[in-house]
Amino acid sequence: MSASPDTVAREVARRRTFAIISHPDAGKSTMTEALALHARMISEAGAIHGKAGRKSTVSDWMEMEKARGISVSSTALQFNYTISDPDTGDTEVAVINLVDTPGHADFSEDTYRVLTAVDAAVMLIDAAKGLEPQTLKLFQVCRHRGVPVITVVNKWDRPGRTPLELIDEISERIGLTPTPLYFPVGIAGDFRGVLDRRTGEYIRFTRTAGGATIAPEELLSADAAATREGDEWAAAVEESDLLSEMGQDHDEELFLAGETSPMIFASAALNFGVRQLLEALVELAPPPAGREGVDHHDREVTDPFSAVVFKVQAGMDSSHRDRLAYMRIVSGEFERGMVVTHAQTGKPFATKYAQAVFGRDRSTVDTAYPGDVVGLVNAMALAPGDTLYTDEAIEFPPIPSFAPEHFAVLRAESAGKYKQFRKAMDQLDSEGVVQVLRNEIRGDASPVLAAVGPMQFEVVTARMKSEFGVETSIQNLPYSLARRTDADSAADLGRQRGVEVFTRSDGVMLALVSDKWRLQYIEKEHPTLTLEPLVATAD
């Protein structure tokens, strides 16, 4: 029997679903593990490169990720976090759904899909580098989708810029007003603790061996902090007061409206400031909300079950070679085994094999609620953007694709592996790892891959070999633009120099063009031909 609307509402109220976004090497995977460590889901944090015998981060499971120390796929972590009220002693158990995202710009499309499934984002910034191109791009996606952002200045234990300099840069470059909840005591590279701007107290951190365990904290009054830290405390108080005079104190309404961003200074590697981030998420980030369907009909969180698939991933379990579809529950209660309707086909879909995901590790999930991320095993019919529902029909808007900028031919090295090659291509295509294009001239044996970034091609060849035993080769093509076209224009476009026409697996016809100058020439000389821009959803 499904849970009552009141039960669903209570479960929704204690859930927080968010993503961490950052430029590569800002410490995103390290922060992910630091959060899991503070929630006591793991006993010791791993190092990205496995230094000093420590294991790789829980969230990075692909061999390519472990070798390079970057994230190239999104993973979901769910854990409980208990907060105690210091005045009453009452405890609150929050359910945290943390969706990790790829850390490389070549996988920004995967990050975009994740941002369609969360209610808030943590924008991680390197203390020395400040805002970087990928950070700016992802913030614009958050702004476009109305996702409120909490800013974390990471790596404060290393030399870097001043707090006010970083605050000014964020305000000037992206029009978001930072409102620090905590202000660092000690310059970048000499991280002693933080001033709690709302209480005036000092939270002093103590390092642990290699940052592998939770850093002890000591709470001191302002007077005790002044005695202990002297000029460093005085400087922090002075700059905090300056921010207050400028109106840069936290305002929940402005935060949810996307005008301000609560800011925290931290060191994920040392586990400094991590508890403060978790508690800010529970206190300030919005709980899950309903969403609008394509027919403009709202699905409220207490309505019957519905969910949207935002990611499909295979190869996570080499012993089973299964395929996992991540769905974000939008409304109602999910019960394992329930039969739902797949909106795109109208067909029933059984959910017998449903799992909660923690990095590469999984466990069976029997019930879940709005905001939760559940993995459906061997969901061969599902693709990113698909909707599942019970009772009254609903279909959520599809997740748009990015406009590809890199194109290459993929071939199997051995003709005897053709069957496995085709199977692998179909799987990777359905996951959205790359877009697969075909035409009669090149044939099925030489599909063209279209990608946002060239590293996507490396993922394809690596997975072809590891999961399907197929050695492949990549040949880059001299195209840089893709435009939507139609059958009436295809023949004439195919005769143009620097143009080749393909059909994507979803039936859309694309004209690949060598460069913008060639495109401008064709548009001028052949104005009746169809050459429509593909929407780049990051803009």
Query: Please, which residues have CB within 8 angstroms of residue 435's CB and are 6 or more apart in sequence?
Result: 401, 404, 429, 449, 450, 451, 504, 505
Residue 401 lies in a domain: no
CATH number at residue 376: 2.40.30.10
| 400 located within any domain | no
pLDDT attached to residue 134: 73
Between CA 114 and CA 326 the distance in angstroms is 10
* pLDDT score of 145: 82
The pLDDT value recorded for residue 59 is 44
**Do 87 and 159 lie in a common domain?**
yes
The count of structural domains within the chain is 3
- CA distances, 498 to each of 484, 508, 514, 529 (Å): 16, 20, 5, 15
104 marked as part of a ligand binding site: yes
- Name the DSSP class of 130: B
Q: Is 102 annotated as a binding residue?
A: yes
Q: Are 478 and 341 contained in the same domain?
A: no
The residue segments making up the domain with residue 341 are 291-389
3-state secondary structure of 488: helix
Give which of 212, 179, 213, 181 is closest to 194, Cα–Cα.
181
Tell which residue, 445, 441, 521, 444, has the closest CA to residue 481. Answer: 521
Residue 262 lies in a domain: yes
pTM of the model: 0.80
101 and 161 together in one domain: yes
Q: Which of 170, 175, 211, 168 is nearest to 191 (CA)?
A: 211
User: What CATH number is associated with residue 9?
Assistant: 3.40.50.300
9 and 114, same structural domain? yes
Half-sphere exposure for 270 (CA within 13 Å, toward CB): 22
Contact 57, 44 (CB under 8 A): no
Domain shared by 278 and 312, yes or no: no
378 is a domain residue: yes
Cα dist from 165 to 172, 356, 515, whole Å: 11, 41, 40
**Which residues in the chain land under pLDDT 70?**
1, 45-75, 102-109, 314-322, 357-361, 535-539
Instruction: Verify that 426 and 317 share a domain, yes or no.
Output: no
426 shares a domain with 375? no
Q: Is residue 50 part of a domain?
A: yes
pLDDT at position 53: 42
Contact 60, 29 (CB under 8 A): yes
Q: Is residue 398 a part of any domain in this protein? A: no
Rg of the chain, C-alpha, whole Å: 25
Residue that finishes a domain, picked among 235, 256, 284:
284
Annotated binding residue 103: yes
Are residues 509 and 435 both part of a single domain? yes
The predicted pLDDT at position 113 comes to 81
Residue where a domain stops, chosen among 284, 319, 338: 284
Sorted by sequence, the CB contacts under 8 Å of residue 447 that are 6+ apart come out as 409, 410, 425, 436, 437, 438
Residue 20, in any domain of the structure: yes
Between helix 108-115 and helix 133-145 the angle, nearest 10°, is 30
Supply the CATH number for residue 464's domain. 3.30.70.3280
Within this chain, do residues 46 and 183 fall inside the same structural domain, yes or no?
Answer: yes
What rounded mean pLDDT belongs to the chain? 87
Nearest to 441 by CA among 489, 478, 494: 494
Residue 451 lies in a domain: yes
Answer yes or no: do 16 and 151 share one domain: yes
**Looking at the structure, do residues 280 and 138 belong to the same domain, yes or no?**
yes
**Domain stop point among 284, 299, 314:** 284
Convert the pLDDT of each residue in 159-182 to its tens digit: 999 999 999 999 999 999 999 999
Same domain, 279 and 298: no
